[in-house]
Amino acid sequence: MRAIERVLPITRNQRIRVLQYLLDSVLACGGPLLVTGVILVFHLHPLIPNITILYLLVVLGLAIMRGRYAAILSAVVAFFSLDYLIVPPLYNLFVYRIEEEIELFTFLIVAMLTGQLAAAMSEREKQAKRQAEQEAQAQAGELSAIFEAMTEGVSVCDARGEIRYTNTAYRSLLALEEDFDPSLLQLDTRLEWLAIRDLEGRLLSKEQYPLLRVLRGERLSGAHSMDVMCCNYKGENIIFSVSGAPIRDATGQVIGGVVVFRDVTRQRHIAEQLQYSEQKLRSLVESNIFGVVVVDIDGRFYEANDRFVQMIGYSKEELLSGAITWQQLNLPEYQEVTAQAVGAVLSTGAMHPYEKEHLHKDGSRAPILIAGAMIDQERELVLMVILDISERKEIERRKQEFLSMVSHELRTPLTSIMGLIELALMQIELHSRSLPPEAEGLLKQIEKTLKRADGQVEVETRLVEELLEVSRLELHKFELVLQRENLVTIVQETVANQQQAARARQIELVLPPEELVPMLADACRIGQVLTNYLTNALKYAPVDQPVSVCLKVEASSARVSVCDQGPGLTEEQQQRVWERFYQVAAPGQRGPDRGLGLGLAIARAIVEQHQGQVGVQSAPGHGSTFWFTLPIEVSPKECPTDRN
Ligand code: ADP
């Protein structure tokens, strides 16, 4: 069926061609014969010498209008009709004179050449026209393909603003159905539902409409493109970036316009959000509550707020010109911690808060707290927030000084009170037997009271001692006397002492097969740590439950743990028990066992100064295991003192 359909037009073409040949032949024969008739009727030959030129005109006309075939045929017909009907002897193809024969043949050749030439020229012209038409068609096709491929909406309008063409994107941006009513796009109707507004939502006046501006000859491109808000056919708001240009004819007259619509709603919203967050950050930076800087990984400043400038004494110009770098504000002793922070920001993108001191322009040191985050991976830019903590540090220092002073002042009278109580007890012991029985009874009572007072003084002394320790720690006056020691001995001695003090309690000791666990340590301080763990375990575990102490050797370190069946600790409590003054249960606990929540903080400081670690494993209701590790001394040079 399709094949037949294809063949049909070819047959039709052939028929048309035959008809054309027939018409050409009729015109080619009729034209010259008509001219011959005119010549004969009006006896123009030989009245007018060059009357044959009339035939040439016919040939020329046919060549231009009907082509080569008609031109040549008409030349031949003209030749014969001239010879047969006009040049004597008439009705005969012979001529009397040779000149007449030459003249006739010259006429034939000229006629044929003229026809040929004219036909060739006319054909060339037609071909050029056809080619121009094809090119124009191809260009129109290309243009329409480009418009269809565009994601921007395109509309082409005539000089009155009526739409002549829209691409698919235009229709989909405006939510028009495929079979929409074309009257919707009539200028007035469309401007009505589009409700074109500026970005603040104010309706535009007609002169401001992008299309009408274009039709007035304006070019809307680059900086002159317009951002407007419109409604699509569903009534949803869309923000368009509109550009356009007028279409002019050869005389420069505007005959229409092309307008291109780009949907920038999303970009606008993102830009607005960015602007909002930028504004939030800006106001925070400009509030100058804390110092804010942006530096690259080489320490070059890109931004610094007034608060930071105030903190370090250098001007903004000095910082931003590159004359001063972040590294120059660093003190040598903080190089390691700074390098760690840089490493963290490079690998994780964030720098957790850490304290350090930096160098002020006047050479003084200023304590600061820093935190930061990478804000530009490519340029490796880091935003840092810096808090001036000099006031806090000063308060802390004064507090510690005060604590240390108070503890000292309390310790001296406490020592004398203890001495005096002991003296009084000794005197009672000495004289009790030489006194009458009623005085002896009184003395016994005084002795009891004195012993109770002694117990209280002991508690007070321990508390004061802990306070002193903490202030020493804070003021970095906590010094260790490191010697080669055997950890086995320290553990054994401490456990024995505790067992002595709490005879009723059961303390199990598990030692490693090694008799010697050598290390560089301050034996007293390590003993103090274990004592603290043990007293806590005895204090918090039920009296009928044993407490076990275990010493283990693990690769390059030794681990001491104290395990009890006490109340146990929650996750949060396990973290917090190492803080100063933190107490889980009854903070107001009174009695000989009462503490200040300082023991574990001191223990941790001691262990960490020995390059060890502390920790606890526990669960509420399942007891606790407090542990510490210490590095084993590997040097085989000297044997530690065995104090047994
Ligand atoms: P304190 O002098 O108050 O005992 P510590 O620093 O030694 O101070 O301990 C801090 C807190 O940790 C204690 O108040 C106690 O609540 C809790 N704690 C310590 N050891 C244990 C333990 N073995 N079992 C349960 N809680 C404990």
pLDDT in tens, 485-524: 999 999 999 999 999 989 999 999 999 998 999 999 999 9
Q: Which helix H or strand E contains 293, and what residues bound it?
A: strand 291-296
* pLDDT tier at 152, thresholds 50, 70, 90: very high
**How far is ligand 1, taken at its centre, from the CA of residue 175, in Å?**
71
Output the residue whose Cα is nearest ligand 1's atom 13.
583
Q: Which residues contact 100 (CB under 8 A, 6 or more apart)?
A: 87
For atom 23 of ligand 1, which residue has the closest CA?
A: 537
Q: Is the pLDDT of residue 591 over 70?
A: no
Q: Is 47 in the pocket of ligand 1 (CB under 6 A)?
A: no
- pLDDT > 90? residue 627: yes
Ligand 1 pocket mutation pick from 583, 598, 626 by most atoms within 8 angstroms of CB? 583
Angle between helices 487-501 and 523-540 (to 10 degrees): 40
**549 CB less than 6 Å from ligand 1?**
no
Q: Is the pLDDT of residue 70 over 50?
A: yes
- How many C-beta atoms surround the C-beta of residue 605 within 10 A? 21
CB 585 within 8 A of CB 569: no
Torsions phi, psi of 247, nearest 5? -105, 125
Q: Extract the tokens encoding 401.
A: 């000084």
pLDDT at 140: 85
CA 398 to chain CA mean position, Å: 45
Residue pLDDT, tens place only, 523-580: 999 999 999 999 999 999 999 999 999 999 998 999 999 999 999 999 999 999 999 8
Tokens of residue 640, six digits: 């530690």
Mutate to test the pocket of ligand 1, among 577, 580, 596 (most ligand atoms within 8 A of CB): 577
303 vs 314: CA distance, rounded Å: 13
For residue 599 and ligand 1, the question of a CB distance below 6 A is answered with yes
pLDDT at site 488:
96
CB of 595 within 6 A of ligand 1: the answer is yes
Cα 37 to ligand 1 centroid, rounded to whole Å: 141
Given a cut of 60, whether residue 1 has pLDDT beyond it is no
Q: Which pLDDT tens digit goes with each residue over 243-267?
A: 999 999 999 999 999 999 999 999 9
Q: What does the alpha-carbon distance between residue 37 and residue 54 come to, in Å, rounded to a whole number?
A: 12
| pLDDT range class, residue 8, cuts 50, 70, 90 | very low
Q: What is the pLDDT of residue 98?
A: 86
By the 8 A CB rule, do 618 and 624 touch? yes
Does position 473 have pLDDT exceeding 80, yes or no? no
474 CA distance to ligand 1 centroid (A)? 21
